[in-house]
């Protein structure tokens, strides 16, 4: 049952997996927010854990950096471990004046300079979008926690260090909320294998202003994003179970 990249047993993962790029952020989330945590993946130190959040079984696992890496883990979790829902909890760089360090942004869609979705889609444009229900539950979770969020387009870049110096200005012009490296890939994998995906990011850099959080801060301080993602899962469950309180405008 193990895959080349995941050595978990068949039932080790919950149906929902939170995925940061950084495996140490995965460990931090597991240790900080989950009860009765078990380590379920150690291959390549791409650490994965399963535990319980307010009684709900949830897994968290790193996906590495870049679309090729996240595509492997997302695909294997869905096809080999029966995972239905992936929520990326990432960091991103801002290119707008009204988006600042530590803001939380929700990726309703993701543009990319990667070709992966064209490879999937017969070289046509594929609109890489988040699952609508997960998106609205994340917005509601943020509202409930009084965390202002912006919802819109991310840009998933193949290069962290992009030599195209005019690109940031173009991203600003097109209203991109954050530059990161995986959302378009995880949305493409979810579409291909009939799963659901969402990306929530915390702004760790301001690309135009040259501002940047430390690696330690990226690993352990994105509390608002984590609790929004976890609360999203609970709201989604309640909604699917028909609980009206989860459907209210600002519930
Ligand atoms: O902090 P994570 O989730 O890894 O996300 C962002 O950080 C990495 C680059 O530093 C890329 O993976 C990018 O998408
Ligand atoms: O891909 C990324 C992630 C964080 N910050 C950036 O500037 N780019």
ipTM score of complex? 0.98
Residue 45 CB-density burial (10 A; 0-12 exposed, 13-18 middle, 19+ buried)? exposed
Count of domains for the chain: 1
Give the range of the structural domain holding residue 240, as residue numbers without chain letter: 16-245
| Per-residue pLDDT band at 77 (split at 50, 70, 90) | very high
Q: Classify residue 141: in a domain, yes or no.
A: yes
- Whether 6 shows a pLDDT value over 50: the answer reads yes
Rounded CA separation 131/51 (Å): 24
Give me ligand 2 centre to Cα 180, in Å: 5
- Whether 81 shows a pLDDT value over 60: the answer reads yes
Residue 27 assigned as binding residue: no
Of the chain, the percentage scoring pLDDT greater than 90 comes to 96
Q: Classify residue 91: in a domain, yes or no.
A: yes
**CA-156 nearest atom, ligand 1:** 14
Classify residue 82 as left (phi > 0), alpha (psi -120 to 50) or beta. Answer: left
Closest CA to ligand 1's atom 1: 91
Q: Classify residue 8: in a domain, yes or no.
A: no
Residue 59 assigned as binding residue: no
Model pLDDT, residue 165: 87
Q: Classify residue 5: in a domain, yes or no.
A: no
Q: Classify residue 130: in a domain, yes or no.
A: yes
CATH number of the domain residue 141 falls in: 3.40.50.1580
Ligand 1 pocket, mutate which of 17, 18, 20, 22 (most atoms under 8 A from CB): 22
Give me ligand 2 centre to Cα 181, in Å: 7
Closest among 69, 108, 67, 63 to 86, alpha carbons compared: 63
- Annotated catalytic residue: which of 22, 103, 131, 205? 205
Ligand 1 residue neighbourhood (C-beta within 6 Å): 20-22, 65, 90-91, 160, 180-182, 218
Q: Where are the alpha helices (DSSP H) in the chain?
A: 23-33, 67-81, 116-120, 132-144, 167-173, 183-192, 215-220, 223-240
Rounded CA separation 209/230 (Å): 31
Q: Classify residue 80: in a domain, yes or no.
A: yes
Q: Classify residue 9: in a domain, yes or no.
A: no
Rounded CA separation 123/223 (Å): 39
Q: Classify residue 3: in a domain, yes or no.
A: no
Residue 25 assigned as binding residue: yes
């Amino acid at each position: 049952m193990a895959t080349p990249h995941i050595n978990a047993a068949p039932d080790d993962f919950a149906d929902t997996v939170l995925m940061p790029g950084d495996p140490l952020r995965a460990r931090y989330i597991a240790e900080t927010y989950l009860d009765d945590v078990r380590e379920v993946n150690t291959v390549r130190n791409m650490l994965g854990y399963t535990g319980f959040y307010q009684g709900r079984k949830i897994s968290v696992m790193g996906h590495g950096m870049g679309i090729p890496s996240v595509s492997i883990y997302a695909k294997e979790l869905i096809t080999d471990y029966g995972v239905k829902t992936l929520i990326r909890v990432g960091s991103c760089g801002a290119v707008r004046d009204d988006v600042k360090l530590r803001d939380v942004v929700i990726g309703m869609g993701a543009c990319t300079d990667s070709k992966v979705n064209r490879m999937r889609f017969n070289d046509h444009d594929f609109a890489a979008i988040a699952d609508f229900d997960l998106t609205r539950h994340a917005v509601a979770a943020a509202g409930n926690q009084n965390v202002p969020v912006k919802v819109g387009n991310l840009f998933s870049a193949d290069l962290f260090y992009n030599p195209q110096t005019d690109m940031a200005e173009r991203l600003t012009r097109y209203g991109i909320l954050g530059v990161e490296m995986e959302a378009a890939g995880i949305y493409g994998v979810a579409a291909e294998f009939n799963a659901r995906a969402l990306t929530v990011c915390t702004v760790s850099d301001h690309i135009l202003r040259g501002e940047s959080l430390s690696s330690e801060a990226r690993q352990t301080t994105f509390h608002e994003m984590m609790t929004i993602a976890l609360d999203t899962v609970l709201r989604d469950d309640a909604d699917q179970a028909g609980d009206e309180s989860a459907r209210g405008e600002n519930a």
